């Protein structure tokens, strides 16, 4: 157990002291700014004076381009290539000789990735709140007219793509919940990428695989019309609004998405460790 904890500690240091996080901060800033601008322009179009800082995050996490491409790819490139990279550079040999087993080494890679997913989403939330405040959003935890879906009644084009909130909803709690949900989704996808790099140890593969799968998923989504595809599509489940009857005609039950991500996470972890036991490092 001590060995495993020391491995996790070392991997955490490697992961979080990396200068790659500057890229994450830049990406958080970019999507936060774009989301805040979008909310502000919608507010202007709808003639609404006040909008909340949480509206920017709610809009951001329901934008497929931001979540499925920009944020997911950045996360995968920062946190999910260490297994492949360590094998390429043979640092894996140095560390695994000390870890004593491939299983421990896998745990030492997987646990920090999970923490990185949470930290990444906290960063997204923090950056979007800060930039929304800078852009003129109100610092209130009460849902704004946007969040309550009232603007859509006046002008459907002014309604942003996110689930309307009840008037008594605490927006901080709601957006933290959304961040945790996205952390689970990113963790599951990250674990699948780790499992893939256990079989194919090429450091550029995780980022490419992430973009490729989401792109393919989106293209198939355009051509395949039917609710069944939404059920198997991984990227659709990333969006919080896909679970809301107020936004889409055929919403996904939240439990099905939680089960989907947990299943992907567990299966990927099992496949990854079994692959790692068999392959030459």
Partner 1 sequence: MNRIQTDVPGAPLVDVRGLCKSYGPKTVLDDVTLMIRPGEVVGLVGPNGAGKTTLIRILSGMSRPSNGEGSVLGRDVRSTSGDLPFMGLMVERPMFIETLSGRKNLELLFGIRGAVEPTVASDVLRRVGLDPHDSKPVRTYSLGMRQRLSLAQAIGERPRLVVLDEPTNGLDPRGIVEMRSLVRELADVDGMGVLLTSHLLQEVEAVCDRVILLHHGRAQHVYEPSTTLDSVVLVLEVASVEDVGRVASVETVDVVGSDGPTRMRIRVREAVPDVVRMLVMADVGIEAIHRDSAGLERAYMESVGA
Figure out which of the listed residues 23, 25, 26, 94 binds partner 1, where binding follows CB under 8 A. 94
Q: Decide: is 199 part of the binding site for partner 1 (CB under 8 A).
A: no
Smallest gap from Cβ 103 to partner 1, in A, equals 10
Smallest gap from Cβ 148 to partner 1, in A, equals 46
Q: Judged by CB, which is closer to partner 1: 38, or 88?
A: 88
Query: Per-residue string for binding with partner 1, 34-73, x by CB under 8 A?
Result: ----------------------------------------
Q: Decide: is 97 part of the binding site for partner 1 (CB under 8 A).
A: yes
* Residue 141 structure tokens: 């935890």
Do 174 and 142 meet the contact criterion of CB atoms below 8 Å apart?
Answer: no
Q: Decide: is 225 part of the binding site for partner 1 (CB under 8 A).
A: no
Show contacts with partner 1 in window 122-181 (CB under 8 A): none
Q: Decide: is 227 part of the binding site for partner 1 (CB under 8 A).
A: no
Cα 17 from Cα 40, distance rounded (Å):
35
As beta bridge partners, residue 138 has: 52
Query: Per-residue string for binding with partner 1, 9-38, x by CB under 8 A?
Result: xx--xx--xxx-------------------
Figure out which of the listed residues 59, 61, 72, 96 binds partner 1, where binding follows CB under 8 A. 96
Q: Decide: is 274 part of the binding site for partner 1 (CB under 8 A).
A: no
Cα 75 from Cα 184, distance rounded (Å):
13
Cα 241 from Cα 95, distance rounded (Å):
43
Q: Judged by CB, which is closer to partner 1: 16, or 69?
A: 16
Do 35 and 63 meet the contact criterion of CB atoms below 8 Å apart?
Answer: yes
Do 115 and 12 meet the contact criterion of CB atoms below 8 Å apart?
Answer: yes
Smallest gap from Cβ 260 to partner 1, in A, equals 33
Tally of CA atoms within 13 A in the half-sphere of 85 that contains its CB: 14
Residues touching partner 1, count (CB under 8 A): 29
Q: Judged by CB, which is closer to partner 1: 3, or 169?
A: 3
Figure out which of the listed residues 41, 45, 89, 154 binds partner 1, where binding follows CB under 8 A. 89
Q: Judged by CB, which is closer to partner 1: 153, or 274?
A: 274
Do 232 and 220 meet the contact criterion of CB atoms below 8 Å apart?
Answer: no
DSSP string for residues in 67-117: IIIIIHHHHHHHHS-HHHHHHHHTHHHHHHHHH-SHHHHHHHHHHHHHHHH
Figure out which of the listed residues 100, 177, 212, 253 binds partner 1, where binding follows CB under 8 A. 100
Question: CA separation (Å) from 271 to 72, 134, 138?
Answer: 22, 45, 47
**Residue 61, SS3?**
coil
Taking alpha carbons only, the member of 201, 203, 206 closest to residue 280 is 201
Taking alpha carbons only, the member of 71, 31, 123, 119 closest to residue 238 is 71
Q: Decide: is 256 part of the binding site for partner 1 (CB under 8 A).
A: no
| Interacting residues with partner 1 (CB under 8 A) | 2-3, 6-7, 9-10, 13-14, 17-19, 86, 89-102, 277, 280-281
């Amino acid at each position: 157990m001590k060995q495993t904890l020391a491995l996790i500690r070392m991997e955490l240091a490697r992961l979080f002291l990396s200068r790659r996080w500057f890229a994450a901060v830049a990406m958080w800033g970019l999507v936060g700014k774009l989301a805040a601008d979008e909310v502000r322009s919608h507010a202007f179009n709808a003639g609404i004076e006040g909008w909340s800082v949480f509206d920017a995050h709610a809009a951001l996490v329901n934008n497929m381009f931001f979540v499925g491409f920009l944020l997911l790819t950045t996360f995968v490139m920062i946190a999910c290539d260490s297994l492949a990279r360590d094998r390429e550079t043979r640092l894996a040999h140095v560390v695994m000789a000390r870890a004593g087993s491939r299983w421990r080494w896998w745990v030492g890679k997987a646990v920090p990735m999970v923490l990185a997913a949470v930290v990444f989403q906290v960063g997204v939330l923090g950056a979007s709140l800060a930039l929304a405040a800078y852009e003129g959003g109100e610092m209130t935890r009460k849902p704004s007219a946007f969040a309550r879906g009232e603007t859509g009644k006046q002008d459907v084009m002014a309604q942003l793509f996110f689930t309307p909130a009840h008037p008594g909803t605490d927006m901080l709690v709601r957006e933290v919940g959304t961040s945790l949900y996205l952390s689970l989704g990113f963790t599951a996808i990250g674990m699948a990428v780790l499992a893939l790099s256990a079989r194919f140890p090429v450091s550029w593969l995780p980022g490419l695989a992430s973009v490729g799968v989401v792109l393919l998923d989106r293209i198939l989504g355009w051509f395949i019309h039917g609710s069944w595809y939404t059920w198997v599509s991984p990227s659709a489940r990333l969006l919080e609004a896909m679970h809301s009857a107020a936004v889409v005609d055929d919403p996904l039950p939240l439990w099905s998405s939680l089960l989907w991500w947990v299943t992907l996470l567990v299966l990927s972890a099992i496949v990854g460790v079994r692959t790692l036991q068999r392959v030459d490092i």
